[in-house]
């Protein structure tokens, strides 16, 4: 086994300064963190029902992944945005809507409204829009 050319006991003989060692260690740590950034976008896998009759109360369970509590997750139903659903668990939301929509097809999108503090991030990494899910169609029948 060969030893490294760095003599730890005598700092003058070391090939790398303490600053360089810490700098390389910090870069190594940053690389590990970049590989493990979690996916914050919600995903809709299914709905409890995909249609309802006109002039009825709309009750929908939304099933999927990455839903957040405390009003951080909102739902867009057609052109009506930022509806706060009832949070059941990270995989289920419950949405109740009064009769407001005309017959037609509406897009349902779930948003995780997480915004990063601009002071702690670079301009390129600031998220100016919420994390959006896939689009699921919902039909209101006459």
The token pair that represents 120 in the structure block: 């702690």
Tell me which DSSP letter residue 38 carries. Answer: P
Provide the CATH number for the domain around residue 93. 2.60.40.10
Kindly state whether residue 84 falls inside one of the protein's structural domains. yes
pLDDT at 93: 96
Kindly state whether residue 77 falls inside one of the protein's structural domains. yes
**For the chain, where are the alpha helices, taking DSSP H only?**
18-35
Kindly state whether residue 31 falls inside one of the protein's structural domains. no
CA distances from 86 to 22, 68, 71, 130 (A): 48, 11, 9, 19
pLDDT tens-place string over residues 47-63: 999 999 888 888 999 99
Tell me which DSSP letter residue 2 carries. Answer: P
Q: How many CB atoms lie within 10 A of CB 97?
A: 17
Burial of 73 (0-12, 13-18, 19+ CB in 10 A): buried
pLDDT tens-place string over residues 3-19: 444 444 444 444 445 55
What total number of domains does the chain contain?
A: 1
Q: Structural domain of residue 133, as residue ranges? A: 43-141
pLDDT tens-place string over residues 69-124: 888 899 999 988 889 999 999 999 999 988 677 889 999 999 998 765 545 555 45
Dihedral class, residue 125 (left if φ above 0, else alpha if ψ from -120 to 50, else beta)? alpha
């Amino acid at each position: 086994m060969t030893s490294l050319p760095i003599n730890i006991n005598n700092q003058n003989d070391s090939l790398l300064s303490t600053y360089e060692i810490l700098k390389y260690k910090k870069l190594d740590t940053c690389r590990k963190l970049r590989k493990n950034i979690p996916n914050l976008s919600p995903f809709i896998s299914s709905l409890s029902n995909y249609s309802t009759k006109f002039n009825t109360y709309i009750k929908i369970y939304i099933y999927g992944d990455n839903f957040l509590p405390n009003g951080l997750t909102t739902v867009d139903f057609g052109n009506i945005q930022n509806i706060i659903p009832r949070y059941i668990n990270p995989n289920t939301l419950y949405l109740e809507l009064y009769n407001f929509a005309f017959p037609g097809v509406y897009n349902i999108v779930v948003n995780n409204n997480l915004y990063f503090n601009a002071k702690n991030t670079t301009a390129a990494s600031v998220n100016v829009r919420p994390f959006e899910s896939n689009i699921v169609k919902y039909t209101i029948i006459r």
